[in-house]
Every structure is written in C-alpha cells, then in structure tokens.
Amino acid sequence: MNIDNHLSFFCKVTGVLALYDLPSITTLSQNLPSKLKWKATVKLAIQDYWTKTLIKEIETKSSLTYLDKTLLRIGSTHLVWTSLSSTVSDVKKGAIKVRLLTETYLLESHRSKFSGGRESALCKCCGTSDEDIIHFLLLCPALHQQGKETFSKLKSYVISVIGLGYWSKEFKGHLDLIRLIVDSSFLLPKLRNRTESDKIQRLATDMCYRLHSQRVWKLKGK
C-alpha cells in the first residue's frame, strides 16, 4: 500500500472514510462487515454528513428563515410535498408554497431590494404598504377576503388539534403566523399523527395558492 502518495487509491479511500466518520481500513480489516450491513452503514454516514452540511449552509441564508430545520434530512422529502398528491393542480400549489418558503416568490419588496431601491416596494394590489411576505399573506386589503376565508380554516383546524392554550402561547405575532403558513413542520411533535400534519400543510398550501391566484388576477387587471 502506498501510504506516502496522497494521490494513491489507498490514501483517497482513507480520506473518504475519515470524511464520513466511518471505520478505518485497519478496523474494517479486523472486523469485516457483511455487504448489506456495510452498504447501510455507508448510506447512513453519507446522509448524516450532508444533512449537517446542509443545515449549516441553511443557517447562513436569510432567505431560508422560515424553513424548519428539525426534520430536514438528505434522502427525505419535505412535508410540503409528502402532504400533496402528484396531480398537476397539487404540484402547482406546492410550487407556490416552496417559492414562498425559500423566498424565491417575487414580491415588490424583493424588486426594490434587487434594484437597489430604484423600484418601489409598494404593493401594486392595494397601494397602501410595502409588499413583503407578511403584507402578502396576512395584511393586504386587496386580498383580505381570500386570506380571511383560508386562514380561518387553517386556524380552526390547528386549534382543534393543539388546543387554544397552545395556540395563544405559540402564535402571538405576525412572524409566528407566517412560520405556520409557510412551514408548519415544527408542529409535528405536538400532533398525534402525520395525518394531522398533512392536513395542516394542505390547508396552508391552499391558502398560499389562493392568495397567489388572487394577486395574479389583481395585477393583470391593473
């Protein structure tokens, strides 16, 4: 074995094992696992490494503020998608939700920021306030009726499964409500089963999509 040449196959394998916190070649040679066991061990180690790397990267991105990191794992699908079917309509709804979750849904506040302030951040639907995610999802007068109807359904169901006391404790301001609407994954430990989680996700996704559709309709009419 060429242990002095860092480009040798032996050194590369040693480096990969160390990178993913796997047993060394010496340890493996003394206690060789079965093929299936080794395959499972390697898969888990790689997923753990890249999950930790992903979470560290997410923490540096201000655009991912509302993304709940507790359930994120490489190889697992986010609850936004697992709560929906594979129909065209559900995929469209999920895409809007994910764009809001990752701040790639273009609001007027984004246009203003990206233009260095040359473009106005004023909401083009109502003309009363700057259009950021809180304004769009909760406060825009032009979208009020649609938002009221869909949010009432979401709020009622969430209270029915977590209780009014927990609701009052956890959802005190606009940012708490945005967190619920955009990524309710953080509620999973408080729920009895995934069915409840999926319904909350679907209600929030439907709210986002209906507000998006109403916004698009309003802007087309301008």
209 and 185 in one domain? Answer: yes
Strands (E), 44-152: none
What's the domain count of the chain? 2
Q: Residue written as tokens 């009895």?
A: 192
> For position 9, what pLDDT does the model report?
83
What is the distance between the alpha carbons of residues 117 and 44, in angstroms, rounded to a whole number?
46
pLDDT, tens digit only, all 222 positions of the chain:
555 667 788 888 889 999 999 999 889 989 999 999 999 999 999 999 999 999 999 999 988 999 998 888 998 999 999 999 999 999 999 999 999 999 999 999 999 999 999 999 999 999 999 999 999 999 999 999 999 999 999 999 999 999 999 999 999 999 999 999 999 999 999 999 999 999 999 999 999 999 999 999 999 986
168 and 141 in one domain? Answer: yes
Residue 70 lies in a domain: no
pTM (2 d.p.): 0.86
> For position 3, what pLDDT does the model report?
55
Task: For residue 191, give its domain range.
Answer: 79-221
Residue 111 lies in a domain: yes
175 and 88 in one domain? Answer: yes
89 and 156 in one domain? Answer: yes
Taking alpha carbons only, the member of 69, 70, 16, 8 closest to residue 42 is 16
97 and 20 in one domain? Answer: no
CA distances from 149 to 69, 115, 208 (A): 29, 34, 12
198 and 163 in one domain? Answer: yes
101 and 30 in one domain? Answer: no
Taking alpha carbons only, the member of 182, 184, 210, 214 closest to residue 93 is 210
> For position 221, what pLDDT does the model report?
80
